[in-house]
Structure 1
Amino acid sequence: MILHKLIYLLLWLCSVLFFVMYRGDLSLQLLIVCTLFPVLLFLLLLWQKLTLSVHLEADTHEAACQDRFYVLIHMRGRCPVPVHYAVVTLNYIHSLAGEPDMLDVHVPVMGSNAQVVRLPFSTPCCGRITVTGSDILIYDPLSLFSMKVKCRDRVAVTILPETDCLQMLPALPAPGDAEQSERFSEVRSGDDPSEIFSVEPYQQGDAVSGIHWKLTAKTDTMMIKHFSLPLDDDILLFVDYRRCGDDCKDTKLLHHVISVYASLSFLLTEQGCSHRLMWYPFVRGGLEPYGCQSQEDTVDALREMLASAPYPTGEAALLGMEELPAARMIYCTALPDAETFMQLSAFAAHCRVMVFCISYEEHPALPQDTCFECYPVYVPQDADGEV
């Protein structure tokens, strides 16, 4: 753009020199045209800017790994003169990779018409791809001036993982009995009247049906019974949703962890096993089980999990758990650190724990003499490439 300005400045100086050396109508008209022409271009560009609208749209909100989807750039110019040259800048980020990237699209804009630019996207890793519009630069035909048209639209597409990792996995535990669990939480109250969790003075919001009348009459203070929370005798499927590193291969390793996690949930559903899905949601900042009765429930849970960024690598996800809300646990991880395995050993004293360690190594180094079952899951390392 600077080169174009310098060239035009040189032409304008030549017209001035021509007018000085050869006075007459022709030289004067040439000087006037060379002087006013940039002004006309500026006014035309301003008109085009005020009448140009741009917004983004995705052709789908969900796709599978390696599937191609499109981000559509809708551009409508109401000025009859087309925009000679425009640069649309898009920022996009993959939730597992965490590093934003930028894409420039060079297109003309038709006059008094609408057009759609289709940008293909594809990724080998599950996650969430978010594309955000940025400033759009439009130029006059001589590229002397440029103006910005704002576009702050944002589109997001969820990429679901594969569920064909079952051939790499050992046999899963059999479904639990259909009988009601006799295990109750020691730290949280619930709504099971068969057991009383605690009796405390009435507070605003407590249910009147929980009043302990005998104790209230004795203490002359309204006392409320808090019932117990039963721990379901089912399977808890926990994924270690932490970053494995900053490289592309580390992002793909986390993708394999999630694929194994989804495959296990699908298999449990097919076997009729009641199970719960759990991960450390970075956005919510707490541990919440996700009840799963069908494959649709699994997909819904994956959507919710992939919508948030993975937890930082250095944090042990299980340290915030006081107890397991299930009788058996299946844990999927690519980071078998000492803190997590210590917590798993504590859980294994009260329930059955199975650990799947996903690794690029066929024989990874795993802790020995653990009180839970630990299985390595080998995944072949792909060639380096973009996520």
Structure 2
Amino acid sequence: MIKNRILWILWLVCMAGAAVITGTWLFAAVLLLTVLILIFSAGSVVLSGKKAVIKLHLPKASERMECFHGKMYLENQSAWPVFGGAGVLRWENLFTGEKGEIPLSFSLGGKEKQVIEFEAGSNWCGCIRFCFSDWKCQDFFRVFSLKRKADTCAYTVVMPERQKGELSLFTREGFDMESFRYSGSRPGDDPGETYDIREYRSGDSIRQIHWKLSGKLDDIMIREKSFPVDDTVLILAEAFQADRDPQRAETVAEVFSAVLQSFMEKKISCQAGVYDHSTGKFRLEKIRTEEDRENILYRFLRYGSDAKTPVTVREYLKDPGIQNFANYVYITGDPQDKEAELLAAKGEVTIVGCGTGGRDSGGEQVLWKYGSQNPKDSQKQHMENNCPVSCWKLH
């Protein structure tokens, strides 16, 4: 556009100089006509694009490192044409921080509708937000321009690669199966299982006295009943990272998926929880089928990616409901994340730290191979596709 303006200015200067030097009306008439054309062009820019409606459409989900197709629908509700429209379609992976731009240009006749197709893709899983917030309306000669607002956004979710876990957490033996039925951190009122044996305290019910053991020990002993749990494990994953790192984020999503898959295949009763930023509500879902796994993973990436602070545990604790869990699995990619400590009062907590380094907790560490295991894909990304994962129980 700057080049066009310079050329038109030079043309005006030449015509004005020629009219003065030669004194002929021809150059003066050409100069006047040029000025009138420029005035008309400026007026056309003011009138065009006022009633342009722009909408974006993206697929609900797509695969990592594969192109997906999006569409931008344009409609000029005015009879005045849009001679030239130009803007930038900006996108951002809310989960990893990856960003990019796609320049677009178009023209619309009066009352015309048009569809512009574009291709995009991401090297990482997550929720990809596309925004076309403003664009420039230009005249036919590309001399004048005026900004127009669009404010349209669309989202698509890039699902993570499916991986097999190598942590003992993913095995049925990784948990005490008896604790799946009864809480190990709090007494209850179920006489079917004993939570603890202790000495008598003032106020204890006579019905709780363990008569046989009291006779052997020559002291009054109390048998505390167990607290039954409805489901064995609650799995929580936190999308927030103070310093967003795509490798850690990718690993968090894959580990979350792998835990759900492993528990489902081994028929370990579990639920998963996700905080939905769009509604401000915490959602709990039973994981029984492949569809359940995909749905909760989609919700985690789509509605949990836009976190400004770690919120998953806190939102769950605000209203945990009447559901009782004996074990909690907390998956995070933030090295400074201490949210799991808030769960300690409710049950046994297992923390899975993705890319957070080892901790002096006697836990387990593996090198997680994230993403596609095709060597060609790794070469395209110019990086080693592995991330350290630590797993330990909170004491």
Q: Same fold (TM over 0.5)?
A: yes
Residues 358, 365 of structure 2: 8 Å contact kept? no
Q: Which residue in the other structure is 2:236 paired with?
A: 238
Residues 183, 232 of structure 1: 8 Å contact kept? no
- Give the direction of change, closer, same or farther, for the CA distance of 1:316–1:304 in structure 2 (3 Å limit): closer
Deviation at 1:147, TM superposition (A): 1.9
Unaligned runs of 5+ in 2: 192-226, 372-377, 384-395
Deviation at 1:95, TM superposition (A): 1.2
Where do 1:230-379 residues align within 5 Å?
231-243=229-241, 245-246=243-244, 250-278=245-273, 289-306=284-301, 307-309=303-305, 311=307, 325-335=324-334, 339=338, 346=344, 351=348, 353-359=349-355, 365-368=358-361, 370=362, 374-379=364-369
RMSD after superposition: 4.3
Supply the AA of the counterpart residue of 1:378. W
What do the CA deviations read for 1:28-78 (whole angstroms, capped 9, x no partner)? 4223212211012223334433464432222x1112222321221223457
- Give the direction of change, closer, same or farther, for the CA distance of 1:374–1:327 in structure 2 (3 Å limit): farther
Where do 1:137-148 residues align within 5 Å?
137-148=136-147
Cα separation, 2, equivalents of 1:338 and 1:63: 30
- Larger deviation, residues 47-56 vs 279-288: 279-288
Deviation at 1:178, TM superposition (A): 11
Cα separation, 2, equivalents of 1:78 and 1:338: 51
Q: Percent identity?
A: 17
Residues 52, 75 of structure 1: 8 Å contact kept? yes
- Give the direction of change, closer, same or farther, for the CA distance of 1:32–1:193 in structure 2 (3 Å limit): farther
Supply the AA of the counterpart residue of 1:125. W
- Larger deviation, residues 48-57 vs 149-158: 48-57
Where do 1:98-177 residues align within 5 Å?
98=97, 101=99, 103-111=101-109, 113-166=112-165, 168-170=166-168, 171-173=170-172
Deviation at 1:79, TM superposition (A): 7.9
Cα separation, 2, equivalents of 1:31 and 1:283: 58
Where do 1:68-83 residues align within 5 Å?
68-77=67-76
TM-score, with structure 2 as normaliser:
0.67
- Larger deviation, residues 250-259 vs 22-31: 22-31
Supply the AA of the counterpart residue of 2:69. Y
Cα separation, 1, equivalents of 2:60 and 2:103: 22
Q: Which residue in the other structure is 1:216 paired with?
A: none
Cα separation, 2, equivalents of 1:150 and 1:338: 40
Residues 132, 154 of structure 1: 8 Å contact kept? yes
What do the CA deviations read for 1:11-41 (whole angstroms, capped 9, x no partner)? 2233233333444442342232122110122
Supply the AA of the counterpart residue of 1:238. L
2:29 is equivalent to residue 33 of structure 1: no
- Give the direction of change, closer, same or farther, for the CA distance of 1:125–1:54 in structure 2 (3 Å limit): same
Cα separation, 1, equivalents of 2:126 and 2:180: 37
Cα separation, 1, equivalents of 2:335 and 2:324: 22
**What is the aligned length?**
332
Cα separation, 1, equivalents of 2:299 and 2:94: 12
TM-score, with structure 1 as normaliser:
0.68
Q: Which residue in the other structure is 1:16 paired with?
A: 16
Deviation at 1:275, TM superposition (A): 0.4
What do the CA deviations read for 1:304-356 (whole angstroms, capped 9, x no partner)? 2221336567x697578879942233343445669467667x569x64x5444
Secondary structure of the structure 1 residue equivalent to 2:172: coil
- Give the direction of change, closer, same or farther, for the CA distance of 1:136–1:243 in structure 2 (3 Å limit): same
Q: Which residue in the other structure is 1:207 paired with?
A: none
Secondary structure of the structure 1 residue equivalent to 2:151: coil
Deviation at 1:279, TM superposition (A): 5.2
Cα separation, 1, equivalents of 2:77 and 2:315: 57
Supply the AA of the counterpart residue of 2:368. Y
Deviation at 1:233, TM superposition (A): 4.4
Cα separation, 1, equivalents of 2:274 and 2:337: 19
Deviation at 1:156, TM superposition (A): 0.8
What do the CA deviations read for 1:65-118 (whole angstroms, capped 9, x no partner)? 22321221223457899755432222322111347x462524242535543222
Cα separation, 1, equivalents of 2:281 and 2:360: 28
Deviation at 1:129, TM superposition (A): 0.8
Residues 89, 104 of structure 2: 8 Å contact kept? no
Deviation at 1:123, TM superposition (A): 1.3
Supply the AA of the counterpart residue of 2:327. R
Q: Which residue in the other structure is 2:94 paired with?
A: 95
Cα separation, 2, equivalents of 1:91 and 1:65: 19
Secondary structure of the structure 1 residue equivalent to 2:304: coil
